[in-house]
Amino acid sequence: MDNRSDMHHFKAEIINYWHGFGKPELVDMLTVYDIKENKVSEPELSNEIYDGLYEVYLEACQQKDPSEEYADAIIRLCDKLSTALMMYMMQNINKKNGALFQMIYQRLSNNLAYELLYKRCMSFEKNLILVRVCSEARLLKVESVLNKVLDEDYAN
| DSSP sequence for 49-94 | HHHHHHHHHHHHHH-SS--HHHHHHHHHHHHTS-HHHHHHHHHHHH
pLDDT by residue (tens digit) across 48-73? 889 999 999 999 999 999 999 999 99
* pLDDT reported for residue 3: 43
* pLDDT reported for residue 134: 83
Domain positions in the chain are 9-155
d(C-alpha 95, C-alpha 107), whole Å = 18
Asked if 128 contacts 139 with a C-beta cutoff of 8 angstroms, the reply is no
pLDDT block averages, 10 residues each, the chain of length 156: 63 93 88 80 74 93 93 94 93 95 96 94 92 84 91 71
* pLDDT reported for residue 22: 87
Amino acid at 75: I
* pLDDT reported for residue 2: 43
What global pTM score does this model have?
Answer: 0.78
* pLDDT reported for residue 112: 94
